Amino acid sequence: MTQNRQPKSIDAADLPLSVDAAAATAAYVQLANQLQALIESRALPSGVKLPATRALARALAINRNTVVASFERLASLGWIEAYGRGGTVVSNLSRQIAATSRDRTGNRAARIAGGSGRAEPVGPGVVASFRGAKPSSRRVSTSSPASPPRFDFRLGSADPSPLPIEVWRRACREAGRQLPGAGYGDPTGEIELRTQVALYLGRTRAMRVDPAQVMITAGAGQAIERLAEVILRPKDRAAVEEPGYPRAVRALRRFGASLMAVPVDADGIDTSVLFAQKKTPKVIHLTPSHQYPTGARLSPARRHALIQWAANHDVVIIENDYDGEFRYGTAPLPALGALAGFDHIAYVGTFSKVLSPAIRLGFVVARPNLIGAMSAVVAQTRDAVSVVTQRIVTWLIRSGELERHIRRTRRSYASRRSTMLEALARIPQVEAVIGHAAGLHVVVQVRARTATRNLPTRLQRAGVLVDRVADFQSGAGTDSRLLLAYGHLTEAEIVTGLQVLGAALG
């Protein structure tokens, strides 16, 4: 039997890491967080050997002590292990479940905010190993083995019901009718796909879009990063929702922004707080269709007020249409781009959610000078989106198969949503469920005596993984509401998983 092969080591230059010297978070914490995310996602699998601290410091142009401190932090949490001359390797991931849950609850807010500014305590053998000295016989202590979770309700998982294979094969055949060109392709994206995106947005979001206003990106996250790169200069102010979308926060910080966190209520971002700020931000990131993560929908009054405010103060609104395709029993609210065009609005969308995260294809609609600036960046870096992938999605849109697939998945998601709401209604400790008019997750308020800080840890021990709203707040978040995603689970898994959750709450 052929076994799946994993790399035994990784070169420092191949790690997608960066350190922002201007960020409020300490450099070693930034680095540790990025490495932990790669390990959690299995991008760095168990047993892979990390680069030497000197090599990684050279690749990132930072002080070696910063790398050492980040390794010490990861080792103290059990994510990596040092073997002296044998190097530093990623720990067995099956042993990190308890540590992950502990980090998501008691320590996550401190990790995001930068913690105390000191490295976590770690055994002397580990410190010596990272610094190149002879290690002592003492080994890093890791979390005790735990049973793997049976039900994962955390946000960000993919739907197990993919595009029908026969449709995918047809799309691939059509995309392969001609060879890709000899160059890197149009940095703005293939004109055929940009045209189809413009037509698609006209059909589904009532937008009047010229293909020249469209740029193809490797997902919504990259679209936000591109916009931040061409709009922001160091120390510019940028506004974000609180709680909000972590990748947008990281992107804006990466390109030097000073962040302004604006609270969210049942009608979306609180515009009264935003408008009362003494300094106007240069850019603001919003998720108005289904606020990430509270599920609120930005009210019509606030939409119009934001549009007028942005025009008056020359602010760019990044409208991230998160979960805009999925609504249940409610009329769609008009996108900001449909209401006001794109002079002060940059509309970001993705096909990753409706097709597969592996597609890594999104788009941004913006005014010509922003599209031109982002295109120039891509032309220089030569990291345009795969032409073959673009042609596949072009055919899926043009043939109508994409919208047929969205209708199928919307029906499936609606059924799973109903199952979740019915199951939650049977749990006595659940006081309220909100944010379920759209999207693929709900927000759950449990009784005060149940909503303790260590609740996610208790649930994990019972075999259930959840996120909290507090996990998406800046600083020491205190919002105890639970976030339960359902789009990636079967109805049977939802019912059984919530029975286990209910028993653990009791």
Q: What is the pLDDT of residue 115?
A: 35
Tens of pLDDT, residue by residue over 130-156, are: 555 444 433 333 333 345 568 899 987
Chain CA centroid to CA 19, Å: 18
Domains of the chain, CATH where assigned? 12-146 (1.10.10.10), 165-399 (3.40.640.10), 405-505 (3.90.1150.10)
Q: What span, in angstroms and rounded, lies between the C-alpha atoms of 491 and 506?
A: 23
Tens of pLDDT, residue by residue over 153-186, are: 998 776 656 788 999 999 999 999 888 877 778 9
Q: What span, in angstroms and rounded, lies between the C-alpha atoms of 408 and 467?
A: 27
Residue 111 has pLDDT above 60, yes or no: no
Q: What is the pLDDT of residue 475?
A: 72
Average pLDDT of span 178-200: 89
List the end-to-end C-alpha distance of the chain, in Å, as a whole number. 46
Tens of pLDDT, residue by residue over 238-284, are: 999 999 999 999 999 999 899 999 999 999 999 999 999 999 999 99
Tens of pLDDT, residue by residue over 287-305, are: 998 899 999 999 999 999 9
Q: What is the pLDDT of residue 179?
A: 83
Residue 481 has pLDDT above 70, yes or no: yes
pLDDT band, very low/low/confident/very high, at 124 (cuts 50, 70, 90): very low
User: How would you classify residue 477: left for phi > 0, otherwise alpha for psi between -120 and 50, otherwise beta?
Assistant: beta
User: How would you classify residue 470: left for phi > 0, otherwise alpha for psi between -120 and 50, otherwise beta?
Assistant: alpha
Would you tell me how many other CB atoms lie within 10 Å of the CB of residue 492? 9
Residue 344 has pLDDT above 80, yes or no: yes
Q: What is the pLDDT of residue 454?
A: 80
Gyration radius of the chain over CA positions: 23
Q: What is the pLDDT of residue 123?
A: 38
Average pLDDT of span 230-235: 93
Report if pTM > 0.95: no
- Distances from the Cα of 477 to the Cαs of 47, 75, 306, in angstroms? 34, 25, 26
Tens of pLDDT, residue by residue over 46-77, are: 888 898 998 898 888 888 888 988 888 888 77
Q: What is the pLDDT of residue 104?
A: 45
Residue 306 has pLDDT above 90, yes or no: yes
Average pLDDT of span 42-49: 82
Q: What is the pLDDT of residue 178?
A: 85
Residue 27 has pLDDT above 60, yes or no: yes
Average pLDDT of span 72-91: 82
Residue 205 has pLDDT above 60, yes or no: yes
Q: What is the pLDDT of residue 280?
A: 95
- Distances from the Cα of 411 to the Cαs of 203, 402, 487, in angstroms? 19, 14, 11
Strand partners for 467: 483
Tokens of 163: 């595009």
What does the mean pLDDT of the chain come to? Answer: 83
Percentage of the chain modeled with pLDDT above 70: 85
> For the chain, percent helix, then strand, then coil, each to nearest 5?
45, 15, 40
79 touches 91 (CB < 8 A) = yes
Tens of pLDDT, residue by residue over 352-410, are: 888 887 888 999 999 999 999 999 999 988 888 999 999 999 999 999 999 899 888 88
Q: What span, in angstroms and rounded, lies between the C-alpha atoms of 322 and 244?
A: 12
- Cα–Cα nearest to 248, from 271, 267, 232: 232
Average pLDDT of span 448-455: 80
